[in-house]
Amino acid sequence: MAIAAKLRVVFAAFLCGAVMPLGFAPYGLYFVPILALAAFALLLFPLRPKEAFLAGWSFGLGQFGVGVSWVYISIYLYGNAGLPLSLAVMLLLVAFLALYPALMSWLLAKAQAGSAALFYIGLFPAAWVLSEWLRSWLFTGFPWLNLGYSQIDSLLAAFAPVFGVYGVGWITALFAGLLAALLRAPGWPRFVTLPAMALIVLAGLGLKHQDWTDLGTDSLHVTLVQGNIPQDMKWRPEQQAATLETYVDLTRAHYDSDLVVWPETAIPAFYDEVAETFIKPLSEQLRANDVSLITGIPVLDRDHWKYYNAVLSLDAPDHFYYKVHLVPFGEYLPLRDWLAGILGFLPVPESDFSAGSPDQRPLQAAGFPVGVSICYEIAFGEQLIKALPEASLLVNVSNDAWFGDSLAPHQHLEMARMRARETERYVLRATNTGISAIISPDGKLKARSRQFETETISAEVEPRHGATPYVRWGNWPVVSGALLLIGVLLWRIRVAAVRG
């Protein structure tokens, strides 16, 4: 391929990736990723491995360069780093994330699929979902901008309770592959693509109103409190009393609620420092009004000198949920002995937080078991389902003040909506500066807050019982199915090559 042609392919791939974030919150143009992936698949099919790698990497640079550019904000504003250094760190992350579509594209080119239909409909969608799944756990994982999230408001979201976000992503990539086959693949594929697309749509319609879980007999009046404490003031000792007073005053106005939820580290002090002076009198006051409270609070185990990012239900003040999936370079520094001097500008605590056990039981609040996640953990559906089907509600506490007025809070909320859809549970998402939301089991927003406002939101919610297929099976049917399909198709390609 001539250099000019290579440059055109690389630029086209970059544009395909750069428009992908338009399918995600806050834009919600869910058809854009389908069109972008179809165009990307059309670019990839005739390429040799090195060319495919470059095109895939360019696609990833566009996708993540636009979609996760907000990473620099926390480094620049709260890491005491200059703008050039903050942007450099962000670009390094983007370049690394772009390796996933790059390696996927290289492997697809190495497979040398002779049939365009085999590539567009079979290999490409399966390889796409596997690359996203790998990105979700390899090197602690970064599942941001996974394709399935873009479909939370489309008909394809109906597949979420069955196959989870990766199943939705596979079906979305398959839809894009069918579109590519319709445009490019000769012969019979053109006659099956439209019926196949129609079949996907009909299946989505059939699943849209399918209930996999059951309503209980009780309902709860819940309130989420958004304190809107500026990040640069949150941990100042002189600000602590005012912060606590803000949350107490906002809660006192909602003593008609059964359950009140405060955000991540809403109490800016270690539990043992405020257990007697604040927690105990607050518990007595709430109990007298028959109100339950869930709040984020840091915990210091002074016997082993371990720090935990925790959540506490005042119904059981000795039982904590400890955050399991910590944020690298945010809550702990990987290879601290080597990197502490180099990356000292990052907003990492001087001592790493410790991770909680992955097998923690749900908290009890307002008479129901509650599955809890903290901030970033809402992005990991396979972790949240460990609390199910026991948990009747899901609570996510967060602090997105780190990322200011960027795409991140909107994308974060979109992930919480997918968790509600996958599990058919209400998700109560309380954040410091927004976006707080009460999300119904169908993934719709029942109530939401404004950003950067001190406010509360309330709604009636119904605890649910039972388990969706995704809760029972997790990601393994999708991952195993993709691996099996790729294995069968590669075997067929090899056999065809030998016979040829």
What are the backbone dihedrals phi and psi of residue 295, each rounded to the nearest 5 degrees, phi first? -145, 150
Q: Is there a contact between 327 and 346 (Cβ–Cβ < 8 Å)?
A: no
Would you state the structure tokens that stand for residue 177, as one six-digit string? 């592959």
Q: What are 416's two structure tokens?
A: 């919480």
Query: ∠ CA 323-325-328 to the nearest 5 degrees?
Result: 115
**How far are the Cα atoms of 61, 296, 436, 459, 486 from residue 260, in angstroms, in the given order?**
42, 12, 13, 11, 48
Structure tokens that stand for 394 in this block: 């899901």
Determine how many CB atoms are found less than 10 A away from the CB of residue 12.
17
User: How far, CA to CA in Å, does 83 sit from each of 90, 236, 340?
Assistant: 11, 25, 20
Enumerate the active-site residues.
264, 323, 375
Q: Give the gyration radius of the chain's Cα atoms.
A: 24
For residue 259, the cross-strand partners are 222, 292
CB-based contacts of 38-41 (< 8 A; 24+ apart in sequence): 38/176, 38/177, 38/179, 38/180, 38/183, 39/12, 39/180, 40/13, 40/16, 41/119, 41/120, 41/124, 41/176, 41/177, 41/180
- Nearest C-alpha neighbor of 270 from the set 233, 313, 240: 240
